[in-house]
Amino acid sequence: MKLAVLASGRGSNLRAIADAIDWGACAASIVAVVSDKDDAGALAFAAERGVASAIVRPKAYESRALWDAALAEAVASFSPDLVVLAGFMRIIGGAMLGRFPHRIVNVHPALLPSFPGAHGARDAIAKGVRISGCTVHLVDAGVDTGPILAQAAVSVWPSDDEASLQARIQREEHRLLPAVIDAIAKGAIVLGERPQLASTLAFDERALNSPALISAPLSTR
Ligand code: GRF
């Protein structure tokens, strides 16, 4: 299964996907990395690995719709089977959704539907929740509202700040996102308006969603 990975940031999720592919744990190949930012670490990683890349800069377009159409063109030029948003910090519009119906997945640093938006870890800390985590979901027209494919939970410790919680969540993202891509590639997760687990395949959903609920050491309570 050919992946186009869209990323705005440092690209640790992109790296996790590439590593899982190298280890034979993710039946996919990355055909392109596409970014909205010239200085995205994900682009440097693509160059390092010899993966094709493209930048579609929002400022170069008069409207969000025109940028979205250009993004759809750029991504489609790589003919991916699946589009993966791995830290892509922009809202996907109609052109992208129309070009890749039920074929765009996103990883979000919270247990949706709680804490959608750009600051999942910060918002979880502010609210004082004791369990957070990450969600891999299909992208629809809303912000982090699409059908949920898999989730992993992590404990929120009293000593956590945004950075420490984000780091713990990211460890789970790096496991969960490649696992979901692998499940899609193997037909174990069937995408569509209502994504389903394929009943014909022996697929242990518990392995995908296994929580990493680890108590805080006593010294940090
Ligand atoms: C991840 O935490 C992801 O959940 C969010 O953006 C972050 C990207 O991190 N959407 P990285 O660039 O993959 O390191």
Q: Which atom of ligand 1 is nearest to the CA of 107?
A: 4
Q: What is the DSSP letter of 218?
A: G
Q: What is the DSSP string of 145-206?
A: -SPEEEEEEEE--TT--HHHHHHHHHHHHHHHHHHHHHHHHTTSEE-SSS-EE-TTS---HH
Per-residue pLDDT of the chain (221 residues), as tens digits, is: 999 999 999 999 999 999 999 999 999 999 999 999 999 999 999 999 999 999 999 999 999 999 999 999 999 999 999 999 999 999 999 999 999 999 999 999 999 999 999 999 999 999 999 999 999 999 999 999 999 999 999 999 999 999 999 999 999 999 999 999 999 999 999 999 999 887 655 456 666 666 555 445 444 43
Ligand 1 pocket, residue 86 CB under 6 Å? yes
Return the CATH architecture of domain 2-215.
3-Layer(aba) Sandwich (3.40)
* pLDDT attached to residue 198: 79
**Cα 10 to middle of ligand 1, angstroms:** 8
Ligand 1 pocket, residue 80 CB under 6 Å? no
Domain boundaries, the chain: 2-215
The answer to whether 119 is a known catalytic residue is no
Query: Which of these is catalytic: 108, 119, 137, 174?
Result: 108
Phi and psi torsions of 67, nearest 5°: -60, -45
Residue type, 19: D
